[in-house]
A and B are shown apart, each in its own frame.
Chain A
């Protein structure tokens, strides 16, 4: 029979500790009271003794794990079958439930010692709750009110509901499960609606919609589909990251000149329409390798730093951009040549507009590039594409008088606006990242 090694309360108000190292390994034989593990707490490092003799059968809490007072750390297989007490010395002696009757034996009689009567052990301190049935009488999984409501609001049929993987008790679908499902479901291509920007996190649940009667001069359009998905995604982004936008001005004269001179031959030679975007993709990707925090993502309390770049490039859909936004991804942009990037960009942009793009192609971006300059915007504060850490907007190119070598020159200038998550990125880092891109564009060394 196995005896558990329990984490004791090593001091008042100590609730947990960390296993430093096991002094004995699985399979070792141990003696009662022999130290078998070293524990570190706020107050003290201590060695715990084995509660019984036997073989250290299984270590449940390996080194460097945090354990709570009362938690089982390991199991010791004892030699004999006789039941051993638990590792903790029992705190209270068994108490007398009712005093036994005292016999009147006079002065010389042997007064019996009262026999301790063990009180029944207390019921575990868990609150009683309704029988935890998560399957109905027919064997169907239990669907909670909120899951039912969400399913109804998103047009998920009962059959579809049954296919959703559940993490709740008995495998039931929880609110989080269905919300995750919905977020991910939006990305699956359907004949008509366009896929959502990737990767869409759980949308913030809204209260049940109240029907609104339009007044004169008003029309009601339900918020559904991609628009709703975008709304939820951006809300989550904006509420999660601490947005700061910083602006740098870039002299794009070399870029403009190159494009003007080469756009036709490019078209002929590579079959690709040459725009400015591939240059920014390349410059950005290179800069991201040097400034990897811009390319990172924050998950719980861990920063996942990536040393590869999947560049998301925002594409507006619809004639006037009224059909929403999609962000196809150029994978491993840091490895691709400018030409490759140009080709790929043209292809996915076309297919995005045709709504023939696949799920994989809108997932996994580590950074996003957006081009509000294409519709004339001069400066902006783009919203980060959650869960990325930054987004770069390229703005309209405008010829401006600037000072070069103490003389006035007319140059085509472009603002680059970088919105970054201040939880991870500080101003100087962002500034230097932008300067790196600026240098790349201004020095125009793409074909070295």
Chain B
């Protein structure tokens, strides 16, 4: 076992996959000479050379397209978005080119790419360095969406995402990069975490909390506080957003009959809305209260601290919502 930060876990996963499979390469801005804006690819250029570690021009479309085109021709491309917010530049490549290629090739041409980058707020990143619009890709067919919360999952899921034959958009919450440390297996164990499997991070009996990313940590903190009030939260870390693990969610709903979905993205049309709809469809008779959501306000993430705090969900928000739900 190795004790590493969230960021280091991602770095090691990519490194080990590039060692393991010469077809894997990575392209992004400032990833070679500089080792990436956050240092995720430190040392990669020296080890793997400029053909496999490409310092791209400022062209998110080209960055993703190179990964896509190479994947069509048998490679496995990792396209880094310096901030995942910039994926909007290359949206067409993800959604219309990569997402449909298998579909319009009679299943013959899979596109194994990982489009990854730092996401999320709480760091004063403001409008274009704090986004969490995973709902865009949750909604589009042909693309998988992953958002781990712990180093071991980040590590295992990155490896699986690289090995998966489909386009995967991989959200790495920047707030967790250096704040969270945890054990990950040794390289020799060839550890992967399968996509589409949620993990219960805390067992409980009163309320099912469904969440992902940095919000998992917020939910766990809320759970600790609420324990003292006799409210027991079961916290489900989705890990993968698409494919969605409804089985784990439903099993928990049958246990508690009360659901709180927590997601950092704007509330309207977010992933939590879909989860709520599915729970109602599939477990209506198990509900003892309306399904509640804690999410960001329907706004962009602003710069000033009081503004950012107002928009984004807090541990208090989760605590208040859980209290209400418990009392319902």
A residues near B (Cβ < 8 Å) are 15-16, 66, 68, 92, 122, 124-127, 129-130, 132, 144-149, 168-169, 174-175, 205, 207-208, 300
Partner of B288, one of A124, A127, A147, A300: A147
A389–B47 CA distance with the chains assembled, in angstroms: 61
B286 touches A149 (CB 8 A): yes
Stretch of B3-11, B17-25, B117-125, B314-322 on the interface side: B314-322
Q: How far in angstroms is the closest Cβ of chain A from B281? A: 12
- Which of B287, B288, B324 has the largest number of chain A CB atoms within 10 A? B288
B136 at the interface (CB under 8 A from A): no
* Pairs A–B under 8 Å by Cβ, sample size 21: A15-B225, A124-B320, A125-B317, A126-B320, A126-B321, A127-B294, A130-B290, A132-B328, A144-B289, A145-B285, A146-B286, A146-B288, A147-B288, A148-B285, A149-B286, A168-B327, A168-B328, A169-B327, A169-B328, A175-B257, A300-B230
Chain A residues contacting B288 (CB-CB under 8 Å) are 144-147, 174-175
Chain A residues contacting B316 (CB-CB under 8 Å) are 125
Q: Write the chain A residue with the least CB distance to B321.
A: A127
A208–B228 CA distance with the chains assembled, in angstroms: 33
A149 touches B225 (CB 8 A): no
Q: Write the chain A residue with the least CB distance to B328.
A: A169
Using A127-B293, A175-B257, A207-B254 as known contacts, say yes or no to A146 and B285 having CB atoms under 8 A apart: yes
B residues near A (Cβ < 8 Å) are 225, 228, 230, 254-255, 257, 284-290, 292-294, 306, 310, 314, 316-317, 320-321, 324, 327-328
B286 touches A66 (CB 8 A): no
Chain B residues contacting A92 (CB-CB under 8 Å) are 306
A149 touches B285 (CB 8 A): yes
A394–B177 CA distance with the chains assembled, in angstroms: 60
B310 touches A146 (CB 8 A): no
Partner of A144, one of B228, B287, B321, B327: B287
Chain A residues contacting B286 (CB-CB under 8 Å) are 145-146, 149
A125 touches B328 (CB 8 A): no
Q: Write the chain A residue with the least CB distance to B291.
A: A129
A205–B293 CA distance with the chains assembled, in angstroms: 25
A100–B292 CA distance with the chains assembled, in angstroms: 41
Q: Which 10 residue pairs spanning A and B have beta carbons closest together? A: A175-B288, A149-B285, A144-B288, A146-B257, A145-B285, A146-B288, A175-B257, A127-B321, A125-B317, A145-B287
Q: Write the chain A residue with the least CB distance to B327.
A: A169
Chain A residues contacting B294 (CB-CB under 8 Å) are 127
